[in-house]
Amino acid sequence: MNAPQPLSQDKTQHPGDDPYLAVTHEVFNQPTALENYNLFAQDRALQEAIDREGAGAATGDLKQFGALAGAAETIELGFRANENKPVFNTHDRFGHRIDQVDFHPAYHQLMSIAMENGLHSSPWTNPGTGAHVARAAKYYMHSQVEAAHCCPITMTFAAIPSIRKQPELAAIWENKILANSYDPRNLPDGEKQSVTIGMAMTEKQGGSDVRANTTRAYPIGAEGPGQAYELVGHKWFVSAPMCDAFLVLAQTKSGLSCFLMPRWRPDGSKNPWQVQRLKNKMGNIANASSEAELRGALAWMVGEEGRGVPTIIEMVAMTRFDCMIGSSAGMRQALAQASHHCHHRSAFGNRLSDQPLMQNVLADLALESEAALAYTMRIARSLDSQHLEHERLLARLATPVGKYWICKRVPNHAYESMECIGGSGVMEDCIMPRLLRESPVNAIWEGSGNVQCLDTLRALHKEPDTLDAFFSEAAEARGSDARFDRFLAQLQNDFADISDFEYRARNLVDRLALLMQASLLLRNSDPAVADAFCASRLEHKGGLNYGNLPSGTDPAAIIKRATPVVE
């Protein structure tokens, strides 16, 4: 029997002998990453809204910011901040209580970008025509990069109207709140040139029913607005516990009152409010949310005693507006990812974005995104014009309606966009899983859907003229589309009797939102967008999922308008 040949004498050619034979396939039919593009220059709906709503003078600044937001390095910060959860430390290594939350450097870089660009301050430092509109546009772009860190940005921005109700406190805090710089150090505010502001309202037993709060405020000396108190109790949800001060609700002998509670006392000692733990959230990962106990924490009363809710409600209203911006931004980013993918990906012999069924889905997603943006930016213009009665009334009703509707539309929008991408969209190295996890947050925070509907009812009862202002604004599109005219007439008829509004609230608020979105698109958008929106949203003919645009619409035009061009 012959002996086996040594391996060295084997003349068979192996793949490893030739690097070209080791290559199993060529990577093709894959889109490039959606990065190094300008989020402003590649968003026609946003550019048009800026001009329409009075912020045209900010176009150059917004274009620069759009380039920053779309840079690969900036986008990477969002991924790093979400891959590294905040870490809470109760004490330092010497045993001192510090209540410190440590973040990945990417989080701090994103916070710096936001604050250096005035996302927390610009309408207050430079008020006037277009101020809120321009700021909303920046927030809209920045939130597409990473939404979670925008929570402390929003609260810092929204705190100003409430703090200004107590001028002596505003004199101490306002300049530092509005400084366009970021200082994350855990130091007394007296040692810092810039600060961030949070809020602590909800408790275990009450949630949205803040009047059930049990936290008590005890006067140190004189009582009343601007005076010092010590707070004892707990807070079930304190977002961004690393903020330098918080607006807090607590009970006094006259009822629920509002207080400004700093992280440190004026003498440099730690204020005795203690974080118990960080929340373990399904989304909003980069932002720290916490539970806290107040053990005699020093705070100063803001506004009238016993009127805590009316005092803090202006802050809440502004945070609700930012929820609208953030949810609109989430839809825009999801749509951008889906449309970019389908523009560069082929299947069954044709590019995905050219295939009729995919066109129906993409165009439908684009309608939702543009309608949300149009509504949000119109409310931004109202905020710039609160000296006008129509704008004040419109914002009062349209804010809870918009917060309810836009924020609720995001989760299914994110999922459908993910499905357009397919299996790759489920992978954690794609932004889509983060967008999906983030998608329910704005609908739940700052008052859930039912709370927004009840606030709509409250506005109607307290100021019936708000409904007149809403219908008057929407009716500016009357005569441009028969479907819209019928929808408007029916809705006005249904509001003739609101005796059982609370039971029917969701249906009525849904339709108020659709009415305003249709009106804005008919008056301002591309005819293909307005026509498809009216055909699919105002005339219900079955299918509830995305991809139910009726025949006769122009999906190709809608998709082209909405797709960022990144080759």
CATH of the domain at 388: 1.20.140.10
Percent of the chain with pLDDT over 70: 96
Q: Are residues 149 and 241 in the same domain?
A: yes
CA-CA-CA-CA torsion sign (500, 503, 507, 513): positive
Asked whether residue 471 is domain-assigned, the answer is: yes
Residue 11 has pLDDT above 60, yes or no: no
Domain boundary (305, 320, 352) is at: 305
> What's the structural domain count of the chain?
2
Residues found in the chain: 567
Cβ-in-10-Å burial (0-12, 13-18, 19+) of 105 comes to: exposed
Q: Which amino acid is at 114?
A: A
Percent of the chain with pLDDT over 90: 89
Query: What is the model's pLDDT at position 5?
Result: 53
Distance CA 283, CA 82 (A): 9
Q: Concatenated DSSP letters for 198-243?
A: EEE---TTTTT-GGG---EEEESSS-STT-EEEEEEEEEEEE-TTS
Q: Which amino acid is at 353?
A: S
pLDDT tens digits along 150-159: 999 999 999 9
Average pLDDT over residues 127-133: 97
Asked whether residue 9 is domain-assigned, the answer is: no
Residue 57 has pLDDT above 60, yes or no: yes
Asked whether residue 112 is domain-assigned, the answer is: yes
Average pLDDT over residues 221-234: 97
Query: What is the model's pLDDT at position 80?
Result: 98
Domain boundary (258, 284, 305) is at: 305
Query: What is the model's pLDDT at position 210?
Result: 84
What helix, strand, coil percent values describe the chain, rounded to 5? 55, 15, 35
Q: Are residues 259 and 367 in the same domain?
A: no
pLDDT: is 567 or 448 the higher one? 448
Asked whether residue 284 is domain-assigned, the answer is: yes
Query: What is the model's pLDDT at position 18?
Result: 67
Contact 157, 317 (CB under 8 A): no
Task: Of 28-32, 121-125, 240-244, 394-398, give the lowest mean pLDDT range.
Answer: 28-32
pLDDT tens digits along 402-457: 999 999 999 999 999 999 999 999 999 999 999 999 999 999 999 999 999 999 99
pLDDT band (50, 70, 90) for residue 499: confident
Distance CA 61, CA 41 (A): 12
Q: Are residues 392 and 451 in the same domain?
A: yes
Nearest to 53 by CA among 516, 530, 378: 378
Distance CA 137, CA 374 (A): 11
Average pLDDT over residues 232-237: 95
Asked whether residue 316 is domain-assigned, the answer is: yes
Average pLDDT over residues 184-191: 95
Q: Are residues 256 and 342 in the same domain?
A: no
Query: What is the model's pLDDT at position 14?
Result: 63
Q: Are residues 374 and 488 in the same domain?
A: yes
Q: Are residues 410 and 368 in the same domain?
A: yes
Nearest to 292 by CA among 335, 241, 342, 258: 241
Both tokens assigned to 260: 């400004």
Q: For the domain that residue 190 is a member of, what is the CATH number? A: 2.40.110.20
Asked whether residue 283 is domain-assigned, the answer is: yes
Q: Are residues 70 and 184 in the same domain?
A: yes
Indicate the average pLDDT of the chain: 94
pLDDT band (50, 70, 90) for residue 208: confident
pLDDT band (50, 70, 90) for residue 538: very high
pLDDT tens digits along 283-316: 999 999 999 999 999 999 999 999 999 999 989 9
Nearby residues of 512 by Cβ (< 8 Å), 6 or more positions away = 397, 401, 456, 470, 491
Query: What is the model's pLDDT at position 13?
Result: 59
pLDDT band (50, 70, 90) for residue 207: confident
Distance CA 39, CA 9 (A): 62
Q: Are residues 299 and 414 in the same domain?
A: no
Q: Which residues of 214-230 are buried (b: 16+ CB within 10 A; e: fewer)?
A: ebebeeeeebebebbbb
Query: What is the model's pLDDT at position 283?
Result: 94
Asked whether residue 19 is domain-assigned, the answer is: no
Nearby residues of 154 by Cβ (< 8 Å), 6 or more positions away = 120, 318, 319, 322, 326
Average pLDDT over residues 546-560: 96
Q: Are residues 256 and 328 in the same domain?
A: no
Q: Are residues 193 and 247 in the same domain?
A: yes
Query: What is the model's pLDDT at position 480?
Result: 97
Q: Are residues 292 and 324 in the same domain?
A: no
Q: Are residues 186 and 56 in the same domain?
A: yes
Domain around 314: 310-562
Average pLDDT over residues 523-541: 94
Domain boundary (244, 271, 305) is at: 305
Residue 509 has pLDDT above 70, yes or no: yes
Asked whether residue 487 is domain-assigned, the answer is: yes
